[in-house]
């Protein structure tokens, strides 16, 4: 069984690979690079999935099928990398482990679905409780537990205000996690998101902190997998 860690950008995937032993690059998946190796003694695949919901879903689907064909099916999918922080308690430098994820741009409420719920899918994608509990006990980096959303646009202040009005418990927004969660759900695989906060949804600090936020996310991913046992 394999843990699949998906990161959108090269900086984010590289930060994860720094923790992976004997990483071997595989033939590209749908045009995107990926690697197989081990992390804390368990098989791991690191997928550089690309930016955005469609890229994320396409890359993860390809990875899950490739691993199944190699008789190394996925047991857990992790969304790693950076995100924009939302909410007064979140600061640049924090790492947020998402307890629940929704797609902020989905609105089919006219047919009785919850805001953010894709028809015939759950109204949110929840991380395994044991991983949330393990994340809450980690020491070192500042780790916060809370809700997260994904959206088709980079979140700037006006959009952040709309997201918080609709989903007031949100701690971060990104452009991949809800798609990854939905693909994992469709395949019956557990899912958790671990994102380093690079900016406060204003874009102003993203370029300055993308590398160190990615590194913090990767550290927490490694620590969480170790704590999971």
Q: Sketch out the chain's domains with CATH numbers.
A: 2-228 (3.40.50.1580)
Query: Which residue among the candidates 99, 174, 176, 199 is catalytic per the annotation?
Result: 199
- Tell me how far the alpha carbon of residue 94 is from its chain's centroid: 15
Is the Cβ–Cβ distance between 151 and 102 less than 8 Å?
no
Separation of alpha carbons 194 and 210, rounded Å: 14
Separation of alpha carbons 59 and 81, rounded Å: 15
Query: For position 203, what pLDDT does the model report?
Result: 57
In three-state secondary structure terms, 74 is strand
Place of tokens 């857990």: 76
In three-state secondary structure terms, 189 is coil
What is residue 76's DSSP assignment?
Answer: E
- Tell me how far the alpha carbon of residue 113 is from its chain's centroid: 24
Structural tokens at position 34: 């990926």
Query: Which residue among the candidates 11, 12, 71, 130 is catalytic per the annotation?
Result: 12
Please confirm, yes or no, whether 199 is among the known catalytic residues: yes
Query: For position 229, what pLDDT does the model report?
Result: 66
Closest CA to 144 of 217, 225, 226: 217
Mean pLDDT by 10 residues, the chain (229 residues): 97 98 96 96 96 98 98 98 92 96 97 97 97 93 96 89 95 97 98 95 70 95 90
Separation in Å, CA 131 to CA 23, 56, 74, 99, 170? 24, 22, 16, 9, 19
Query: For position 8, what pLDDT does the model report?
Result: 98
Is the Cβ–Cβ distance between 181 and 175 less than 8 Å?
no
Query: For position 204, what pLDDT does the model report?
Result: 62
What pLDDT digit, counting tens, does each position of 38-70 carry? 998 899 999 999 999 999 999 999 999 999 999
């Amino acid at each position: 069984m394999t843990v699949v860690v998906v990161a959108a950008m090269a900086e984010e995937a590289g930060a994860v690979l720094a923790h992976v032993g004997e990483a071997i690059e595989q033939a590209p998946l749908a045009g995107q690079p990926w690697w197989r190796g081990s992390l804390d003694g368990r098989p791991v695949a690191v997928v550089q999935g690309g930016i955005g919901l469609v890229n994320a879903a396409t890359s993860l689907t390809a990875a899950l099928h490739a691993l199944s064909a190699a008789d190394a099916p996925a047991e857990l999918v992790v969304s790693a990398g950076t995100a924009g922080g939302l909410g007064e308690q979140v600061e640049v430098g924090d790492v947020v482990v998402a307890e629940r994820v929704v797609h902020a741009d989905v609105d089919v409420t006219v047919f009785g679905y919850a805001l953010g719920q894709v028809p015939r899918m759950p109204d949110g994608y929840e991380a395994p409780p044991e991983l949330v509990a393990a994340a809450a006990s980690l020491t070192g980096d500042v780790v916060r537990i809370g809700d997260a959303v994904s959206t088709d646009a980079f979140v700037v202040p006006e959009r952040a205000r709309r997201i918080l009005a609709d989903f007031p418990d949100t701690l971060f927004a990104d452009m991949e996690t809800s798609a990854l969660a939905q693909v994992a759900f469709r395949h019956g695989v557990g899912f958790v998101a671990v994102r380093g906060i690079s900016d406060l949804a204003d874009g102003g600090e993203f370029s300055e902190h993308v590398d160190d936020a990615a590194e913090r996310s990767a550290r927490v991913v490694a620590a969480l997998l170790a704590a999971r046992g």
